Amino acid sequence: MNAFVEKYISIWNEADVTARRRHIRELWVEDAQHLARTLEAVGYDGIETRVTNAYEKWVKEKGCVFRLRDGVDGHHDTIKLRWEMLSAGGGDVISIGFDFLVLAADGRIKTGYQFIEA
């Protein structure tokens, strides 16, 4: 589970478009959803657009980095995790989020819910 979550976090920082696309397909099922309060990304194309937009705005443009904040937990085909986004160079924490992932039978993400805590 920890390796899965590390790969999940790493895609938000991934500069290589081809690697990002490959990892999305490894982590999510084809008709998956990534849901946040203000957006809904559906399927590989929607999730790739969502991850790419976050990368372009926060990582590429502003130099931020996403990382796991604390422990990971999961049971019955679910995983919960907290992440944080740090300013350029790993400085101050800018944002903290909580993701709740519902897994499909094959162990990939079927639905991911994202909550911004701070």
Structural domain count, the chain: 1
pLDDT-flagged residues of the chain (< 70) = 90
pTM score: 0.90
Query: What letter does residue 78 receive in the DSSP assignment?
Result: E
Give the chain's mean pLDDT: 94
pLDDT at 88: 76
Q: Which two tokens stand for residue 35?
A: 């849901």
pLDDT at 90: 66
Domain of residue 17: give its range: 2-116
- CATH code of 45's domain: 3.10.450.50
With vertex at residue 117, the alpha carbon angle to CA 106 and CA 53, rounded to the nearest 5 degrees, is 65
